[in-house]
Amino acid sequence: MARRYFGTDGIRGRVGAAPITPDFVLKLGYAAGKVLAGADKTAQKGNRPTVLIGKDTRVSGYMLEAALESGFSAAGVDVMLAGPMPTPGIAYLTRALRLNAGVVISASHNPYADNGIKFFSADGNKLPDEVELEIEAQLEQPMECAPSERLGKARRLDDAGGRYIEFCKSTFPASFDLRGMKLVLDCAHGAAYDVGPHVFHELGAEVVSIGVAPNGFNINDGVGATAPDALVRAVKEHGADIGIALDGDADRVQIVDSTGRLYNGDELLYVLVKDRIATHGKVEGAVGTLMTNMAVEVALKTSGVQFVRAAVGDRYVLEKLREHGWQLGAEGSGHILSLDRHSTGDGIVSALLVLAAIKRSGKSIAELLDGVSLFPQKLINVRMSPGADWKSSDEIRRAVDQAERALESKGRVLIRASGTEPVLRVMVEAAAQQDAVRHAETIAQVVKDVTS
């Protein structure tokens, strides 16, 4: 059964346009509350379930938080409010506090005018598809209101930041510290603007912070993991040893070394796998996505590590990891999963794992990646009209076939719809940069002609 509202990462869109409107989010809170209350055996004995709500720094977060809180209250669900908090922080706190669910108000790496809602289950994982379908079914029912004596209550979780900071620090080896290291941390004017610098500073690093002055409108604006040029400049300007860029909700990371060289999630996955091999002797397998660079797949297999590709989206990487019983997976965008550390992708924790690998080996990231040369990739986003039927287009199929014949076995073509915005992503990977660019631009133009 197809989901009507939930995408690959919750519900997301432009604020003020359906479904990101106050009335819909009010009803969403009510519907989610009814589903959670129905599944909670303690609620059936007269106890109210409790959910935790966090958000990033978008100005619309105030409005959507109030709407969600009201919906949950009307369903008889208590609410704890964490305020601005990284998405993985809400996942951790939901599990640590034994709550029924966690909710994050965020559109992650999108511009400030967008926002979204994503849910975590009691164990800190994203909701299963069947639960999302239950919520969507409840949305079709009339919204009611619990009797006054059963209405949910709300309170502020004042120590949310401190709890999460300590959790992040606990994922770094106790025998290591970051003394003597100077790093630049770019928080994208987003959810980690407060907690992020504390984590690295308390581990001993000299921290230069950028992207830590949110005003409601500047999240991801020229800073953060989706705009790493600001981090590259800051690392060079301050003579830092390393730079770390988070996105708006801090679940993804990009890292820059002292020369200004940027390392994406594909490369960082390889670094972490090799570190696990060095410390534990063997890693059975790792998971990437359809977008993962072929060079990383080849290098991992050469190291005796199985490699499996999932659909794009960290929830699909997680599904494959669970299916195989493995721990490490990643997307090139910087979503990195280490299931022995956290139940979901965490930009701060992932950065700490990379820093631990550097400390343990005594090598730089470049040295840890010796022998791994990424194949050039060209990615073009093509905005499409709603309902455009690109999958059945003969013109697109012919353009893809022509590129694949030219590339032979030395590259690949991938076209996929974004799960978070109305665009098609055209990616071409080739042995030569000019071939990747040429074929990607040709296919993107055909896609634009067909779908606009």
Please return the burial class of 419, using the count of CB atoms within 10 Å of its CB with bins 0-12, 13-18 and 19+: middle
Half-sphere exposure of residue 207: CA atoms within 13 angstroms, side-chain side: 23
Burial call 240-255: b when 16+ CB within 10 Å, e when fewer = bbbbbbbbbbbbbbbb
Instruction: Please give the single-letter amino acid code of residue 431.
Output: A
Burial call 115-146: b when 16+ CB within 10 Å, e when fewer = bbbbbbbbebbbbeeebbbbbbebbeeebeeb
Cα of 159 vs its chain's centroid, Å: 24
Instruction: Please give the single-letter amino acid code of residue 424.
Output: L
Residue with the two structure tokens 């991801």: 220
CA separation for the pair 437, 442 (Å, rounded):
9
User: Is 393 known as a binding-site position?
Assistant: no
CA separation for the pair 36, 100 (Å, rounded):
7
CA separation for the pair 288, 286 (Å, rounded):
7
Residue with the two structure tokens 């002797």: 281
User: Is 177 known as a binding-site position?
Assistant: no
Spot the catalytic one: 60, 70, 73, 108.
Answer: 108
Both tokens of 151, joined, read 């209405």
Strand 423-430 to strand 411-417: parallel, antiparallel, or no bridges (unpaired)? antiparallel
Task: Assess contact for 15 and 146: CB atoms under 8 A.
Answer: no
> Which strands, in side-by-side order, build the sheet including 285-289?
306-310, 285-289, 328-330, 336-338
Q: What are phi and psi of 294, to 5 degrees?
A: -60, -30
Task: Assess contact for 335 and 252: CB atoms under 8 A.
Answer: yes
Q: Tell me the three state secondary structure of residue 427.
A: strand
Instruction: Please give the single-letter amino acid code of residue 330.
Output: A
Task: Assess contact for 57 and 84: CB atoms under 8 A.
Answer: yes
CA separation for the pair 363, 376 (Å, rounded):
25
Among residues 79, 94, 171, 163, which one has the least CA distance to residue 126? 94
User: Is 123 known as a binding-site position?
Assistant: no
User: Is 258 known as a binding-site position?
Assistant: no
Q: Would residue 108 show up in a list of annotated catalytic residues for this protein?
A: yes
Binding site membership: which residues? 108, 247, 249, 251
Binding site membership for Mg(2+): which residues? 108, 247, 249, 251
Which residues are known catalytic residues?
A: 108
